[in-house]
Amino acid sequence: MMKPWHWLPVDLSHDLGKRFIKTAGNLPYRRLTYRPLEWMGLTFENPIGVAGGIDKECEQIRGWWHYSAGFVEVGTITPQAQLSLPKPNILRDAKSKVLWNRLGFPNPGQSRALQLLRNLPEPHFTPLFVNIGRNRETSNERAHLDYIRLIQLLSPVADTFVINISSPNTVGLRNLLDPETLSRFLGELHEVRSEMANKGMYRPLLLKLSPDIETNQFKEVIEICKNNQIDGWVLTNTTAQRSDSRWPKDGGLSGGLLAPLARKSLETLVETLGFQRQKYLIVSCGGVLSAQDIADRLMMGAHLVQVYTALALEGPWFIRNSLFELKDQDPNPISLRHIGA
């Protein structure tokens, strides 16, 4: 069913939505428990999270807590502030439930992000993931320095970092997924994470994967991650593939067109990990458009599920409505799960 905001220009709808969620942060936080999970000292009261890219400015977190998100991911944050790429940079098709974006990591930069995140109550109402990336002007040869700087600065305010090297909207960024390059890159991040751990700030690292890499490379990437003590994966980012000529050739697609690719990536990851799956956190994202989609991803082996397009199209009530529907169908909805070492 068409929502009232679907009749508005997409840019206006996007801006009004951000203000609406930010304002909701003044309302009481609401916790809904469904299949709670403990991992790395963090407790997730439910497995439904807000995907990276929704709150790029770190200003909506309290609002999502009001709407019962099980966890929130902010960013992508880069060292220096960035504006969006030139418009048009967002398009939508509400009927086919597809979003296209070419935003390119617009964000307030690390210093402003630190200031905003410091203002949150401690401990956080839910786990807080911080998605980090490189600036557009930073070369891949120096990309690790951007990520190192972000981990060093934001570790006091982050519960987990999501390493974003899979966005199609930063030129050349996905080249960091080349196996040889990736091994060096993750080795650098492992070192700085160890340094922060020595200061009492161990923060798990999750790698956000592209849906567009071939199966053999995907499996090689997973092995490289395991060798460099990556704690889990978010899969997947938006896709650069085009099965529909209506959409611009650049930018990334999410929603219905991404769903089969995201499901395939999840299947491949679970198969690759085998019995080791419970050692790592698996977060499924991409084409999650209903409560049944959430149930399916959990059944397939994901520990957590993130939503993006569904929030833009259905509104923030999607999380709570899905939780009520899932709880009605589950005979044991509040059994606590544990994963990790």
Which structure tokens are listed for 293? 């989609």
Distance, in Å, from the CA atom of 209 to the CA atom of 62, rounded to the nearest integer, reads: 27
Tokens of 41: 């000292």
Q: Are 43 and 340 in contact (CB under 8 A)?
A: no
The torsion angle over the Cα atoms of residues 16, 17, 18 and 23, rounded to 10 degrees, is 90
* 123, two tokens: 């401990």
Contacts of 282 (CB under 8 A, 6+ apart): 232, 233, 235, 266, 269, 270, 301, 302, 303, 304
Neighbouring C-alpha atoms within 13 Å toward the C-beta of 55? 28
**Whole-number Å distance between alpha carbons of 164 and 133:** 5
Looking up tokens 């504006």 gives 83
Specify burial of residue 204 (Cβ count, 10 A radius: 0-12, 13-18, 19+): buried
CB neighbours of residue 25 within 10 Å: 16
> How far from the centroid of its chain's Cα atoms is residue 196's Cα?
23
Other Cβ atoms less than 10 A from the Cβ of 139: the count is 9
Catalytic-labelled residue, pool 13, 68, 167, 322: 167
Q: Cis link prior to 88 (omega < 30° from 0)?
A: yes
Q: Which residues contact 190 (CB under 8 A, 6 or more apart)?
A: 205, 228, 229
Annotation says 183 is catalytic: no
Task: List active site positions.
Answer: 167
